[in-house]
Chain A
Amino acid sequence: EPEVTQTPSHQVTQMGQEVILRCVPISNHLYFYWYRQILGQKVEFLVSFYNNEISEKSEIFDDQFSVERPDGSNFTLKIRSTKLEDSAMYFCASRIGTSNLETQYFGPGTRLLVL
């Protein structure tokens, strides 16, 4: 069964450093998402991406964050200058089409620790 994959599974970085989290969505899916979960808190929506542009973003997704689909298979989340509070589990998700009735398929997550 096709699945969403994410790399790395864990990343440790120093505050102020840039990180890039990578995701490979399911191949025929058109909508892509990033969510994050700070330890003990809710899974929070960050951004959705469709047709090579951001379609929706939350207030968390400020100028420090960016997303890209560089090569037609990968979907990346970049944090330019990490802060301690960026430490969280980051989930990528994809959906086959544009209807909200459709299921979002999630990857296993990348656990980011900012020191």
Chain B
Amino acid sequence: AQSVTQLDSQVPVFEEAPVELRCNYSSSVSVYLFWYVQYPNQGLQLLLKYLSGSTLVKGINGFEAEFNKSQTSFHLRKPSVHISDTAEYFCAVSTNTGNQFYFGTGTSLTVIP
């Protein structure tokens, strides 16, 4: 079975500071990894995904994530956050043996002016 852990439920950070949102997963098979963002009153929007190849993945809005197989992690980073990055961020995994996603509990990022 697959599971995803997002250790930080809330992350406050000052504007223009860097941020890292942590995601760890467990799986007995190869995984595909995703980060989604949810702005207030909107659906989940894909930020980036790792399917194969380079372990450093760049996404929209200046975000990037690094797949670390040995640490079973897929942490999301941004070097300088904006007020508009305030949102809920979800890490998710899927596998090639089933078509559902397994989500973490989400991290609420609040950017402080």
> Do the two chains bind?
yes
Output the least CB separation between A45 and chain B (Å): 4
Interface-facing stretch out of A13-21, A33-41, A64-72, A80-88: A33-41
- Interface centre among B43, B46, B95, by most chain A C-beta atoms within 10 angstroms, is B43
| In the complex, chain A residues whose CB is within 8 Å of the CB of B96 | 100
Given contacts A48-B99, A100-B95, contact A91 B105 (CB under 8 A): no
Interface size class of B (residues with CB under 8 A): 20 to 34
* Chain B residues with a Cβ under 8 A of chain A: 4, 32, 34, 36, 41-46, 49, 51, 90, 92, 94-96, 98-106
Q: Are A55 and B99 touching (Cβ within 8 A)? A: yes
Q: Are A108 and B41 in contact (CB under 8 A)?
A: yes
Contact B43–A108 (Cβ < 8 Å)? yes
Contact of A101 with B99 at beta-carbon distance under 8 Å, contacts A43-B90, A108-B41, A108-B43 already known? no
Q: Which chain B positions have C-beta within 8 A of A91? A: 43-44
Contact of A101 among B32, B44, B101 (CB under 8 A): B32
Closest CB in chain B relative to A79 CB, distance in Å: 19
A104: Cβ under 8 A from any B Cβ: yes
> In the complex where A40-B105, A42-B105, A100-B95 touch, is A58 in contact with B41 (Cβ < 8 A)?
no
The closest CB in chain A to the CB of B36 belongs to: A106
Contact A45–B101 (Cβ < 8 Å) = yes
User: A100 with B32: in contact, given A31-B99, A45-B100, A55-B99 (CB under 8 Å)?
Assistant: yes
Q: Which of B36, B49, B90, B100 contacts A56 (CB 8 A)?
A: B100
B52 CB to closest chain A CB, in angstroms? 9
Q: B residues within 8 A CB of A105? A: 43, 46
Q: Within 8 Å CB of A98, what residues of B? A: 99
Query: In the bound complex, how far is the Cα of B46 from the Cα of A3, in angstroms?
Result: 12
In the complex, A29 Cα to B51 Cα: how many Å? 20
Residues of B within 8 A of A41 (CB): 105
